[in-house]
Every structure is written in C-alpha cells, then in structure tokens.
C-alpha cells in the first residue's frame, strides 16, 4: 500500500500550512504503509501547494514508522536535491509515451524525458535510492494520440533495460473499465516477471472495486491510494479525477482476507486530521 499525501494536497486550491502538512504526514507514517509520498520538487509556479516540500521532509518523524518516504521529481535539478536528503528512500518520476502528456506535465519531449530518466536512474543507483517509474496514460490516451498495447510493451522494455524494477501504471484522466485493466496486466506481468507493477487509479465513480479486483487477479500487488480520495493531476488539462480512496482499498483487502499491516488506530487519527485540514 502506497499512501500519497502529495497527490491529495496538490489538487487543493488553498495552501496547507507546513505545520499542518507535517502533523498529517506524521500520522500517516505511523499507520505503517509500505511507502508514503510526502511531496514533490515541481516548480512552485505550477504546483504551489508543494512549495514547502523540503521543509516538510526535514520535520517529519521517522522514529516511529516502517514506511519508506517517497518524493516526486520531474527534472535533474530536483533529483539532485532530493537524493541528498537522508530522509528520502524513493524518488518517483512521471513518464509516458504520450508526447502531449510530457509536454503538458514536464515541458519536455519523449527523447528528453528518456535522458532525464536515465540521469535520475543512475543517480538513484549511486545514492542507494529506489526509483519508482510511473507510466501515465498507460491504459489509453485522451489527447487523440494513438495508443496501442505495443507502445506500452516497448516502453516497459526500455525501462527494464535501464534497471528500473518498480512501475505503477496510471490512467490520470481516462475512465477505465475492468477489461482494459485485465488486458494490460495480463500482458505485462508474464512478460516482465522481474518488475513490480502497481496501479495508480484515478476514479470518479463507484466502480473502484471491480477495477482493483481486476488488477489484483492478474498479479498486481502494489496499489496507490489517498485518504478520502483527494487529488489528481492538475496539469493534465482534462477534468481532474480523484484517487482511489485508502478507505476503499482497505475494505477490499479486508473483504478478501488480505492482511494490510496497517495500524488502524493511527490510520483513524490520520483520517480525522485529513477531515480537519483538507475537506
């Protein structure tokens, strides 16, 4: 389970004070998620909500958690800064084979993004950090660009050659059904058994269960979620969809007899803090 306060907070119109972010993230860390994404190195011009990420990282309490701390980076400069922080274990990078997505979100081309990714991958290896590569538009494309399963296979093959071993797939602003989820994971997981695939699901209706179930049945065992389902991609220039609710993901695990490893009392405290500061 990957909890992303970063995803939740970046979509809010108002700026959440640093001390409130720290209090919330510390509660989330105590709950025992595998990974907690606490912020990003994106320019404050584009994502002002995350302008205090470095201050947040310096103030979080890692003495009472088993969680790995993850931060999203989008360029070499940000990666240089984040890899120098001992508190951070993982760097996440948003990639896509959609030229329009790369232009809107990273202001870059496909080849330039590959160069940046190669730099960050090598930097993580030297710094003993883990790179988590998100493939956006992995299930389709809303920009009238061609989307084929072969594109996805080719992209993952390139990532594997770079030594990347954790690849969550995201739909961002594309509505999904369980058929395409089943098709994608049944294609990728047998083809790339050394890669840990995840699902970063954006969803705006009540069909989350069948989508999570479809991915899980094909062997996906890494799921991103956000308490309350907040957030989305504010730079996608499409209707912003919320995230998979952590409450729903826990219900799925409980209903299927899967041990989540979450401290429910700490999780309840985190949800109470979220209700006070974010809703």
Q: Which pLDDT score is estimated for 238?
A: 47
pTM across the whole model: 0.94
In angstroms, the CA 147 to CA 89 distance is 33
Residues (pLDDT < 70) of the chain are: 232-241
Cβ distance 78 to 41 under 8 Å?
yes
Q: Which pLDDT score is estimated for 237?
A: 46
pLDDT digits over 112-140, tens only? Answer: 999 999 999 999 999 999 999 999 999 99
The DSSP-derived string for 191-205 is: H-TTSEEEEE-B--S
Question: Is domain 2-277 given the CATH code 3.40.50.720 in the classification?
Answer: no
Q: Which pLDDT score is estimated for 138?
A: 94
* Residue 128 DSSP symbol: T
Contacts of 119 (CB under 8 A, 6+ apart): 76, 79
pLDDT digits over 2-37, tens only? Answer: 999 999 998 888 899 999 999 999 999 999 999 999
């Amino acid at each position: 389970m990957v909890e992303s306060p970063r995803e939740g907070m970046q979509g809010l119109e108002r700026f959440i004070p640093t001390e409130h972010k720290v209090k919330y993230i510390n509660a989330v860390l105590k709950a025992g998620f595998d990974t907690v994404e606490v912020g990003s190195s994106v320019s404050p011009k584009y994502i002002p909500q995350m302008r205090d990420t470095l201050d947040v990282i310096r103030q979080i309490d890692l003495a009472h958690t088993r969680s790995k701390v993850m931060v999203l980076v989008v360029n070499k400069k940000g990666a240089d800064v984040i890899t120098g922080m001992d508190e951070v274990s993982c760097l996440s990078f948003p990639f896509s084979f959609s030229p329009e997505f790369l232009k809107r979100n990273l202001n870059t081309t496909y080849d330039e993004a590959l160069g940046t990714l190669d730099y960050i991958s090598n930097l993580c290896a030297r710094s003993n950090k883990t790179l988590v590569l998100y493939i956006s538009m992995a299930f389709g494309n809303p920009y009238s660009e061609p989307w084929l399963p072969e594109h996805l296979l080719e992209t993952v093959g390139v990532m594997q050659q770079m030594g990347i071993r954790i690849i969550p797939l995201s739909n961002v602003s594309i509505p999904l059904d369980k058929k395409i989820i089943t098709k994608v994971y049944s294609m990728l997981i047998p083809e790339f058994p050394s890669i840990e695939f995840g699902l970063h699901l954006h969803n705006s209706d009540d069909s989350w269960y069948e989508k999570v179930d479809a991915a899980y049945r094909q062997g996906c065992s890494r799921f991103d979620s956000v308490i309350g389902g907040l957030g989305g991609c504010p730079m996608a220039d499409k209707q912003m969809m919320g995230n998979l609710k952590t409450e729903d993901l826990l219900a799925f695990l409980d209903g299927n007899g899967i041990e989540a490893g979450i401290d429910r009392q700490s999780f309840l405290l985190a949800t109470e803090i979220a209700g006070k500061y974010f809703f």
